[in-house]
């Protein structure tokens, strides 16, 4: 099948009219380039040319150029090796999958047959469908059968309710812990404090930290000293505060009541752990507007204190585990996004045992999102807190295939700030009305994302088929903010997002609980629970700056999710049956091929835009991250990824075992447990910001 694949790539590189197509730059002889951008462009082009086989008139020159650059042992050697090894990896992957997957082989043969006839290529839509059948089958047929696909997915997600929650949330402000994540970094060298005045003490500490090496990288962290209108922490907390004020006027929250909100502060430099709470506290004091909130800030330092002072001693006393401190290191906030996401769920169980037994559930928001309360009431008939009181949250149901579900998780939806004037129920990811670009012939997640958004997030409980009482909808496609879980569900199923997950941490979370019990954990869709997404209204600069990193994160996501799904279950078909189309499109049959092709095609488009600096940063960063991820995720059950997953599973099981043991000891009046509870309350109180 190698020759069929080569023909497909040859055709892909020569499709007419595809945005981003540029001439393939190669040396005119066996020499090289003195220009950096030209060398990068040539390496990337040579990779694609060699993949397209000997039919390409520059194949021999491209092959020689790659081999010579690998052998040169200069600054380009590692990058050239990345491309050469990529050709080998792709060839091996395509051959292997064709041998064991007749359906894939047949799709590749059909694509080869289609592109071999130049007359077919004028039909852009059908050409795209043939490409997607091979590389992104989750996107196939959506353009042609959009309405039918929406209805079919909605039917698949429909759940028959067999038992509503007999003890639903009745007082959200008292019974719920709200959480959010703050990503924080040092001031930008270009605008050290953006005109914002920081205290002398804080500036002194920052000058010390600036010399530290950076340990973690995030898409668009808040720069200390950024102008208040660009500070997501201030924006999100003020929006939550206003939502509580609305609920007080509506009679859902008593006067004087404050909502508890936990912030995980993930920082790029270790030294920031000691100043980030200080910084947030300073900013909140200066700009006020948080009188309805008790905000607690946790850095990696605070989570380690909880482990060493509370959890590890409890494990040693009640479970006879002297190794607990190392194993419990899963509880933390610095690192990839999966780490803080798991913390922001798990902290609610800790809170219930040690801080407030009244806590029943937790709900995570993103700090660039707010509850548009007046619109919620006007268009949906209920405020945010009234949505949380539904007995569907925590109900039991039966899905379309007869599988029992625990609906102990809840998911709302988003509307973009620019679209809310139309309606709350305007999809934040609409169906595209254009033909795909070159890279999107390989992978076009926008289509299955739009399908899932329409079918799941936009469903309203106003029809006999889905009435929101006897029938409802389960959700698979969720967003990082606007979802929650009951504490009893958390402690029973013990879901978590592995700390190696860097994107879609929200969708990875529930996957760890797919096959752990006889009743599968699922999200209940709550129609009308909608948050307004305001990022484009106040942080477009951050979005633009994060563009390249987000693209690379998507390629890495395919590699990680494809390996992660195979660790969860050997039955990939079963996993895909649950999570298709959107989450499932990242669980690919040929993930290495997809990652390399998307990466190189996008790099080619950057050169086509004549943005050499962007292209160089993208290629260097992307090649490094893809190479590292392939090494980390390859090897099946013996891969680093698989071993890390199993280690973290043991850590989270121990975490919940400790909580169960301490809770039981507190109930019987055990002095040590009571002392641990007092110490835990002191630690948590130190995390509270004073405004």
Q: What is the pLDDT of residues 168-207, one digit of tens each?
A: 999 999 999 999 999 999 987 666 655 567 888 998 899 8
Using DSSP bridges, classify how beta strands 361-364 and 483-486 pair: parallel, antiparallel or unpaired.
Answer: antiparallel
Phi, psi angle pair for 76, to nearest 5°: -95, -5
Cα–Cα distance measured from residue 406 to residue 247, given in angstroms and rounded to the nearest whole number = 29
CA-based torsion, 307, 308, 310, 315: positive or negative = positive
DSSP 73: -
Cα–Cα distance measured from residue 672 to residue 665, given in angstroms and rounded to the nearest whole number = 8
Cα–Cα distance measured from residue 79 to residue 623, given in angstroms and rounded to the nearest whole number = 7
Contact, 367 vs 180, CB < 8 A? yes
* Helix, strand or coil, per DSSP, at residue 608: helix
Contact, 493 vs 513, CB < 8 A? yes
Cα–Cα distance measured from residue 536 to residue 570, given in angstroms and rounded to the nearest whole number = 41
| Chain Cα centroid distance, residue 389 | 27
Find the helix or strand (DSSP H, E) in which 267 lies. strand 259-267
> 């020759």: which residue's tokens?
3
Using DSSP bridges, classify how beta strands 471-475 and 369-370 pair: parallel, antiparallel or unpaired.
Answer: unpaired
The token pair at 210 is 């600036």
Mean of pLDDT over the chain: 93
Cα–Cα distance measured from residue 409 to residue 394, given in angstroms and rounded to the nearest whole number = 7
Best CA proximity match to 180, nearest among 243, 263, 241, 266: 263
Using DSSP bridges, classify how beta strands 293-298 and 520-533 pair: parallel, antiparallel or unpaired.
Answer: unpaired
Find the helix or strand (DSSP H, E) in which 104 lies. helix 102-115
| Chain Cα centroid distance, residue 173 | 27
Residues 6+ apart with CB under 8 A from 598: 439, 442, 443, 554, 555
> 């709200």: which residue's tokens?
178
Cα–Cα distance measured from residue 641 to residue 645, given in angstroms and rounded to the nearest whole number = 6
What pLDDT does 460 receive? Answer: 97
- Let me know if 213 is exposed, middle or buried by CB neighbors in 10 A (0-12, 13-18, 19+): exposed
Q: To the nearest whole percent, how much of the chain has pLDDT over 90?
A: 81
Contact, 578 vs 514, CB < 8 A? yes
* Helix, strand or coil, per DSSP, at residue 309: helix
List, for residues 520-554, the tens digit of each pLDDT value: 999 999 999 999 999 776 656 666 666 777 889 99
Global pTM value: 0.94
Using DSSP bridges, classify how beta strands 395-398 and 158-163 pair: parallel, antiparallel or unpaired.
Answer: antiparallel
Cα–Cα distance measured from residue 150 to residue 431, given in angstroms and rounded to the nearest whole number = 11
Cα–Cα distance measured from residue 182 to residue 180, given in angstroms and rounded to the nearest whole number = 7
Cα–Cα distance measured from residue 214 to residue 38, given in angstroms and rounded to the nearest whole number = 30
DSSP 688: B
| Tally of CA atoms within 13 A in the half-sphere of 344 that contains its CB | 33
Q: How many residues does the chain have?
A: 691
Contact, 435 vs 15, CB < 8 A? no
What pLDDT does 21 receive? Answer: 43
Cα–Cα distance measured from residue 389 to residue 410, given in angstroms and rounded to the nearest whole number = 11
Best CA proximity match to 257, nearest among 283, 229, 292, 284: 292
CA distances from 23 to 13, 243, 597, 605, 616 (A): 10, 54, 17, 11, 17
Cα–Cα distance measured from residue 57 to residue 80, given in angstroms and rounded to the nearest whole number = 21
Cα–Cα distance measured from residue 13 to residue 6, given in angstroms and rounded to the nearest whole number = 11
* Ramachandran bin of 526, using left for φ above 0, alpha for ψ from -120 to 50, beta for the remaining angles: beta
CA-based torsion, 680, 684, 687, 689: positive or negative = negative
CB atoms within 10 A of CB 540: 11
Best CA proximity match to 375, nearest among 432, 431, 319, 413: 413
Find the helix or strand (DSSP H, E) in which 131 lies. helix 124-135
Contact, 594 vs 522, CB < 8 A? no
Contact, 196 vs 156, CB < 8 A? no
My answer on whether omega of the bond before 48 falls inside 30° of 0, hence cis, is no
Q: Tell me which residues of the chain have a pLDDT lower than 70.
A: 16-25, 27-34, 189-196, 537-546
| Tally of CA atoms within 13 A in the half-sphere of 524 that contains its CB | 37
For residue 525, list its beta bridge partners. Answer: 411
Contact, 598 vs 439, CB < 8 A? yes
My answer on whether omega of the bond before 272 falls inside 30° of 0, hence cis, is no
């Amino acid at each position: 099948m190698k020759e069929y694949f080569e023909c497909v790539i040859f055709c892909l590189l020569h499709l007419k009219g595809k945005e981003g197509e540029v001439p393939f730059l190669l040396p005119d002889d066996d020499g090289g380039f003195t220009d950096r951008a030209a060398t990068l462009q040539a390496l990337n082009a040579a990779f694609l040319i060699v993949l397209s086989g000997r039919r390409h008139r520059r194949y021999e020159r491209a092959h020689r150029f790659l081999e010579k650059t690998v052998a040169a042992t200069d600054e380009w050697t590692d990058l050239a090796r990345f491309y050469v090894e990529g050709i080998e990896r792709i060839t091996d992957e395509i051959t292997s999958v064709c041998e064991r997957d007749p359906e894939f082989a047949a799709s590749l043969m059909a694509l080869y047959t289609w592109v071999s006839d130049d007359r077919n290529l004028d039909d852009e839509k059908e050409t795209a469908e043939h490409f997607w059948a091979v590389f992104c089958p989750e996107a196939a047929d959506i353009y042609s059968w959009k309405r039918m696909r929406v209805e079919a997915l909605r039917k698949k997600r429909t759940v028959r309710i067999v038992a509503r929650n007999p003890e639903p949330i009745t007082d959200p402000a008292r019974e719920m812990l709200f959480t959010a994540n703050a990503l924080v970094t040092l001031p930008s060298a270009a605008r050290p404090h953006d005109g914002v005045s920081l205290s002398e003490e804080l500036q002194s500490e920052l000058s010390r930290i600036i010399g530290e090496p950076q340990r973690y990288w995030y898409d668009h962290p808040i720069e200390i000293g950024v102008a208040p209108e660009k500070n997501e922490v201030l924006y999100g907390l003020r929006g939550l505060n206003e939502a509580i004020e609305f609920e007080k006027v509506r009679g859902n929250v008593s006067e004087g009541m404050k909502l508890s909100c936990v912030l995980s502060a993930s920082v790029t430099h270790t030294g920031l752990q000691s100043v980030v709470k200080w910084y947030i506290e300073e900013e909140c004091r200066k700009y006020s507007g948080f009188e309805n909130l008790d905000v607690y800030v946790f850095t990696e330092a605070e989570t380690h204190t909880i482990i060493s002072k509370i959890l590890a001693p409890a494990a040693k006393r009640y479970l006879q585990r002297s190794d607990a401190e190392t194993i419990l290191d899963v509880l933390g906030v610095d690192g990839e996004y999966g780490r803080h996401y798991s913390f922001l769920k798990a902290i609610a169980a800790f809170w219930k045992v040690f801080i407030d037994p009244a806590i029943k559930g937790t709900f995570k928001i993103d700090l660039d999102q707010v509850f548009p309360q007046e619109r919620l009431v006007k268009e949906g008939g209920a405020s945010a807190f009234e949505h949380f009181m539904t007995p569907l949250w925590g109900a039991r149901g039966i899905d379309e295939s007869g599988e029992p579900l625990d609906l102990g998780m809840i998911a709302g939806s988003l509307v973009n700030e620019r679209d809310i004037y139309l309606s709350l129920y305007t999809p934040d990811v609409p169906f595209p009305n254009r033909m795909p670009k070159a890279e999107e012939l390989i992978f076009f997640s926008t289509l299955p994302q739009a399908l899932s958004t329409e079918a799941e997030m936009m469903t309203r409980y106003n029809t006999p088929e889905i009435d929101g009482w006897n029938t409802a909808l389960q959700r698979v496609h969720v967003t990082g903010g606007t979802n929650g879980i009951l504490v009893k569900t958390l402690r029973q199923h013990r879901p978590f997002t592995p700390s190696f997950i860097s994107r879609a941490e929200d969708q990875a979370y529930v996957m760890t609980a797919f096959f752990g019990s006889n009743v599968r954990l699922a999200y209940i869709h709550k129609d009308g629970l909608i948050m307004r997404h305001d990022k484009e209204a106040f942080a477009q600069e951050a979005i633009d700056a994060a563009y390249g990193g987000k693209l690379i994160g998507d390629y890495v996501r395919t590699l990680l999710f494809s390996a992660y799904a195979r660790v969860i279950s050997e039955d990939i078909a079963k996993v895909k049956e649950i999570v298709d189309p959107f989450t499932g499109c990242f669980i690919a049959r040929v993930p290495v091929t997809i990652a390399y092709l998307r990466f190189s095609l996008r790099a080619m488009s950057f050169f086509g835009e004549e943005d050499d600096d962007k292209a160089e940063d993208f290629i260097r960063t992307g090649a490094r991250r893809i190479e590292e991820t392939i090494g980390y995720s390859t090897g099946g059950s013996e891969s680093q990824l698989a071993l890390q997953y199993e280690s973290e599973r043991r850590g989270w099981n121990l975490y919940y075992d400790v909580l169960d043991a301490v809770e039981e000891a507190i109930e019987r009046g055990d002095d040590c447990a009571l002392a641990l509870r007092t110490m835990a309350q002191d630690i948590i109180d130190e995390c509270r910001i004073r405004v």
